[in-house]
Amino acid sequence: MTDLEETIIENRTMVLPNHANILDTAHGGTVMKWMDEVAAMSAMRFAGRTCVTASVDRMSFERPIPVGDTAFICGYVYDAGTTSVKVRIRTYREDLRTHEREQTTESYFVFVAIDDERAPVAVPELTVASEEGARLREDALEGENGGR
């Protein structure tokens, strides 16, 4: 069994001109790629197996990330099935000079754990051992169901 808080992955990427669209902000597809990578790391940390993306639910782009700012991406496993792993993933625009941070993007990814032959394999049970873990799980379940 793996505890929810053990699955938290955080990553930062500075938005450079080669990541940008014609408006000098992070290209949506690039942000999605970064989110998929962080979410996959969270799923694999939980499952102890290679995990592949099965679905992405409601990719919500709320505000842009300008060139020069940092994309701060945070994800964690909030639920699991027999072979599937659900990850809540959020991106924030962060100005490293001022420490200002605001959410820009949110989504919910589903991964499937696979073996060496790429066949689905069972994942462990998710445990929640702290009040903070319970709060994170409840927030994710509410958001997944549209209750933002």
Tens digits of per-residue pLDDT, 23-64? 999 999 999 999 999 999 999 999 999 999 999 988 989 999
Cα 99 from Cα 22, distance rounded (Å): 26
Average pLDDT, the chain: 95
Mean pLDDT for the stretch of residues 9-25: 97
- In the block, tokens 């490293």 appear at 96
**Residue 148 pLDDT:** 46
For the beta sheet containing 70-80, the strands, ordered from the edge strand earlier in sequence to the opposite edge, are 9-14, 70-80, 84-95, 100-114, 50-61
**Residue 78 pLDDT:** 98
User: How far, CA to CA in Å, does 2 sit from each of 94, 111, 134?
Assistant: 30, 16, 14
Model pTM?
A: 0.93
Mean pLDDT for the stretch of residues 1-5: 90
Cα 31 from Cα 12, distance rounded (Å): 11
Tokens (6 digits) for 24: 């000098």
Mean pLDDT for the stretch of residues 90-114: 96
146 — pLDDT class (breaks 50, 70, 90): confident
**Residue 27 pLDDT:** 97
Tens digits of per-residue pLDDT, 75-100? 999 999 999 999 999 999 999 999 99
User: What's domain 2-144's superfamily in CATH?
Assistant: Hotdog Thioesterase (3.10.129.10)
* DSSP of 37-96: HHHHHHHHHHHSSEEEEEEEEEEEE-S--BTTSEEEEEEEEEEE-SSEEEEEEEEEEEET
